[in-house]
């Protein structure tokens, strides 16, 4: 492979965050070609630098098929997949005590799938490659509205740190970002009013536009900017880290 060629896979590339990551990696020339993988077909106009792959990687055999569609050498892997199945695999009567099937499903989506993905693609990753997993501020605080989700993201972070040690001899860096509250298709499946409610319960980080103080809703591009940094040589000494990109959401949160 040409040493200047950087092939990066973005899992969940059709979501709002995934699209922002793809755009930022290309705009900043952190990637020369991107393979955007999602279970939903892309409606985005074709970009010659992006290959769209439709695949549900939780279906047996799909991971092996994905590998056959990727280049033999990869410079990076970004995983945005997470959240919860919608609808749930089983009705939830008490969010504090979800059915075992729901608990197992959330863990598989947030921890099991990333594990299987990296295991499948590890030999494709070139020395000096970079991996970034999207975690959540739920990994670091009580999250009684979905304890399985918070526990699963905490498990993802623990495994990612172990993976960083495991892959360090090859110069492969493994990092994570913890977004705060970003409007997404996961939230759209819940409720905008609930989203606005939880966003209000945070430190109001003033920002300045033209000298005027304002408090802005966090956008996918805000998270994508940090991911682009972690995927680049600018972060060559950063590995095994989880960065809060949350606009102050984790500073004073109630135990929701």
Which residues are 192's β-sheet partners?
none
**Over the range 36-62, which residues count as b (16 or more CB within 10 Å of their CB) and which as e?**
bbbeeebeeeeeeebbbbeeebbeeee
How are beta strands 212-214 and 207-209 bridged, if at all?
antiparallel
Distance separating alpha carbons of residues 182 and 192, to the nearest angstrom: 11
Catalytic positions, please?
A: 149
φ/ψ (deg, to 5) at 101: -65, -35
């Amino acid at each position: 492979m040409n040493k200047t060629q950087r092939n990066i896979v973005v899992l969940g590339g059709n979501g709002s965050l995934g699209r922002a990551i793809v755009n930022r990696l290309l705009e900043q020339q952190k990637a020369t070609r991107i393979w955007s993988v999602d279970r939903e077909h892309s409606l985005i106009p074709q970009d010659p630098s992006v290959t769209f792959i439709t695949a549900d990687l939780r279906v047996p055999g799909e991971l092996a098929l994905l590998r056959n569609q990727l280049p033999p050498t990869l410079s990076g892997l970004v995983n945005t997949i997470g959240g919860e199945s919608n609808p749930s695999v089983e009705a939830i009567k008490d969010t504090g005590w979800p059915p075992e099937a729901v608990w197992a499903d959330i863990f598989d989506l947030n921890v099991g799938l990333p594990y299987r993905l990296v295991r499948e693609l590890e030999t494709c990753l070139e020395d000096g490659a970079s991996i970034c997993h999207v975690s959540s501020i739920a990994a670091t605080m009580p999250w009684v509205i979905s304890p399985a989700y918070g526990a699963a993201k905490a498990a993802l972070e623990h495994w990612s740190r172990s993976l960083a040690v495991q892959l360090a001899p090859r110069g492969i860096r493994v990092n994570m970002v913890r977004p705060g509250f970003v409007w997404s298709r996961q939230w759209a499946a819940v409720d905008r009013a609930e989203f606005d409610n939880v966003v209000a319960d945070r430190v109001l980080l003033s920002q300045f536009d033209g000298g005027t103080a304002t408090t802005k809703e966090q956008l996918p591009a805000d998270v994508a900017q940090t991911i682009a940094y972690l995927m680049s040589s600018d972060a060559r000494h950063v590995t095994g880290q989880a960065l809060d990109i949350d606009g102050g959401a984790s500073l004073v949160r109630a135990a929701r």
